[in-house]
């Protein structure tokens, strides 16, 4: 890669990344340069116009990105709503569609004027959902649950000084003793069917399998368990929003119904694809008891 000028280096990087199949080659090239220079992406574009030199390590990072190492692993950070997260090997890189899932929960909280909601993030991974809720709802009391030791290390780093309570454990059991105390549960459980290997190498080769694959029943074993855990944790009238695959919406509706939820609603992401489903725990005496085995009969 040429290093005699930033503009030429970015053009060469863009070509290299495009040839490697990277979906956003120019953006990634600029973000890698921004990371090395310690400036914003907009500043990188300005520096390129003014004839600035390229950072010496840009070629090395571009080569790594061309091998489909995730951009976030190379920069060490991922943006999620209003927060910046430290990420790397061993933890799931948060996705834009999950930002929409958080928005569903925040809209519910704000529509009901709940100023100090008690919120659980089941399977927090990097801590993205919990950190975003804590940042955007200052009065919230947020509890995050994660069982992976590697992910927990990243979550501890990201949730330090946020006020979020981080619990190490399986979301099926980690909230035992707190039944009926949460206003909101947000969860992005593993939901990829075990035989559906993701196409993108960044996902298939770098995201931890335990954060991707949802177990038996077409990837719905873990979503069903999360729904049962949420039903137990929520107070009457409490709200669950669960992220899932585009084709899993109807099955997730049945999962939520079998777990005791009412008012079940589908939610699209920013591209219009159905990627989340919500439900409310009924307040009436006829509230259904969730199936403690997480059996959705889907």
Residues forming the annotated binding site for substrate?
188-191
C-alpha span between 172 and 139 (Å, rounded): 26
Contacts of 57 (CB under 8 A, 6+ apart): 36
Tokens matching residue 188: 């992005």
Of residues 65, 106, 50, the one with CA closest to residue 82: 106
Q: Which residues are annotated as a binding site for S-adenosyl-L-methionine?
A: 123-127, 146, 171, 188
C-alpha span between 220 and 243 (Å, rounded): 11
Question: Phi/psi class of residue 161: alpha, beta or left (left: φ > 0; alpha: ψ in -120 to 50)?
Answer: left
Of residues 79, 77, 128, 78, the one with CA closest to residue 102: 128
Cα-based distances in Å from 9 to 35, 69, 92, 111? 15, 20, 30, 49
Burial of 127 (0-12, 13-18, 19+ CB in 10 A): buried
C-alpha span between 151 and 104 (Å, rounded): 25
Q: Which residues are annotated as a binding site?
A: 123-127, 146, 171, 188-191
Residue 226's CB: how many other CB atoms inside 10 A? Answer: 29
Contacts of 251 (CB under 8 A, 6+ apart): 218, 220, 296, 298
114 three-state secondary structure: coil
Return phi, psi of residue 265, to 5°: -140, 140
């Amino acid at each position: 890669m040429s290093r005699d000028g930033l503009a030429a280096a970015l053009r060469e990087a863009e070509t290299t990344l495009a040839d490697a199949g990277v979906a956003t080659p120019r953006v990634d090239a600029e973000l890698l340069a921004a990371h090395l220079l310690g400036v914003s992406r907009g500043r990188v574009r300005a520096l390129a116009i003014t004839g600035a030199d390229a950072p010496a390590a840009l070629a090395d990072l571009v080569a790594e990105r061309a091998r489909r190492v995730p951009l976030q692993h190379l920069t060490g950070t991922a943006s999620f709503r209003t927060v910046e997260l430290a990420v790397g090997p061993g933890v799931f890189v948060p996705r834009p569609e999950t930002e929409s899932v958080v928005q569903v929960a925040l809209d519910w909280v704000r529509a009901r004027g709940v100023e100090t909601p008690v919120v659980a993030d089941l399977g927090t991974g990097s801590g993205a959902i919990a950190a975003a809720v804590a940042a955007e709802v200052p009065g919230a009391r947020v509890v995050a649950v994660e069982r992976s030791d590697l992910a927990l290390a990243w979550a501890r780093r990201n949730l330090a000084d946020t006020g979020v309570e981080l619990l190490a454990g399986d979301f099926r059991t980690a909230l035992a003793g707190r039944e009926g105390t949460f206003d909101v549960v947000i969860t992005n459980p593993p939901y990829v069917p075990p035989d559906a290997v993701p196409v993108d190498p960044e996902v298939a080769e770098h995201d931890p399998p335990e954060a991707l694959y949802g177990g038996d029943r077409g990837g719905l074993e873990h979503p069903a368990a999360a729904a049962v855990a949420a039903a137990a944790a929520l107070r009457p009238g409490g709200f669950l929003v669960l992220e899932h695959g585009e084709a899993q919406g109807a099955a997730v509706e049945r999962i939520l119904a079998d777990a005791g939820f009412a008012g079940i609603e589908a939610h699209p992401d920013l591209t219009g694809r159905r990627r989340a489903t919500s439900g409310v725990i009924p307040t009436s005496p006829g509230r259904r008891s969730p199936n403690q085995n997480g059996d959705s009969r889907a």
